[in-house]
């Protein structure tokens, strides 16, 4: 029984890691798109804010 609980815990951790990575990738893609819009619109402050947010990821 302990072996099964250990296996379930490992699967749960692996699933959480996959989800975290997917969310990080999605967030980066969204920020890149917003940076492109800020550059197109000449929004220097928005660009700087988004670039800083991207650095923290």
Q: Is the pLDDT of residue 57 over 60?
A: yes
Any domain includes 52: yes
Q: What is the largest CA-CA distance in the chain?
A: 61
pTM for the full predicted model: 0.77
Any domain includes 29: yes
Any domain includes 6: no
What is the tens place of the pLDDT at every residue in 10-53? 999 999 999 999 999 999 999 999 999 999 999 999 999 999 99
Cβ atoms 46, 24 nearer than 8 A: no
Enumerate residues 6+ apart whose C-beta is below 8 A from 37. Answer: 43
Domain count along the chain = 1
Domain enclosing residue 49, as ranges: 20-56
Any domain includes 13: no
Instruction: Report the length, in residues, of the chain.
Output: 57
């Amino acid at each position: 029984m302990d072996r099964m609980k250990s296996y379930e815990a490992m699967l749960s951790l692996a699933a959480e890691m996959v989800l975290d990575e997917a969310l990080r990738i999605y967030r980066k893609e969204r920020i890149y798109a917003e940076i492109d819009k800020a550059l197109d619109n000449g929004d220097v402050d928005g660009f700087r804010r988004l670039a800083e947010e991207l650095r923290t990821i």
